[in-house]
Amino acid sequence: MNAYIDSALFVKAFVLEANSEETIRLLEETGEPFAYSHLHEIEIPNAIRLKRFRGEITKSQETTAIRAFLADVDSGRFERITYDLAAVFMRAESLSAKCSAEIGTRSLDLWHVAAALEAGCKTFVSYDTRQRKAAELFGLRVLPVCGN
């Protein structure tokens, strides 16, 4: 496993949206197991719950999506990456100091980039423009190539 995938992409695979088909294809091309960090653990179910709060999905759809995510974790489709958690936070702060004032990255986006770097991932998969810029700036190959 050498690709780190942003939580927002995973959510599009569990809750069908306009570009879910494209996202699922991208995940298939990236290959399993998917890198799984501490932040994914809370962000993915929380993003699904927020979709229900905003009226984008029903309670039944929320339950189904979260169950599908947890089943993928249990089946080994997601694999916990290894890193020193304190090192991830220190690296995220370092990344922030080097790029946030110029490209406007948010702290959680930097945390994901830092986790990918600390875990030794070579590729970073995201649709978020600023997160993609940060990942590329710090030497990660960014997918999708064309951006979105």
Quick: pLDDT tens for 55-64.
999 999 999 9
Residue 17 within any structural domain of the chain: yes
Q: Give domain status of residue 99, yes or no.
A: yes
Answer whether residue 148 is part of any domain. no
- Give how many domains the chain has, as a whole number: 1
Residue 33 resides in a domain: yes
Residue 13 lies in a domain: yes
> Which segments of the chain have a pLDDT < 50?
147-148
C-alpha 60, offset from chain centre: 24
Cut 0.75: pTM above it: yes
The 10s digit of each residue's pLDDT in 102-125 is 999 999 999 999 999 999 999 999
Question: Which SS3 state, helix, strand or coil, does residue 83 take?
Answer: coil
Is 55 among the domain residues? yes
126 backbone dihedrals φ, ψ, rounded to 5°: -160, 155
What are residue 123's DSSP bridge partners? 3, 141
CATH number at residue 133: 3.40.50.1010
Q: Which domain holds residue 54?
A: 3-143
Residue 12 located in a structural domain: yes
pLDDT at 2: 81
Look at residues 49, 82, 90, 81 and name the one whose alpha carbon lies nearest to residue 66. 49
Pairwise CA distance, residues 48 & 28, whole Å: 21
Residues 112 and 89 sit within 8 Å (Cβ to Cβ):
no
- Burial of residue 77, with CB atoms counted within 10 A of its CB: 0-12 exposed, 13-18 middle, 19 or more buried: middle
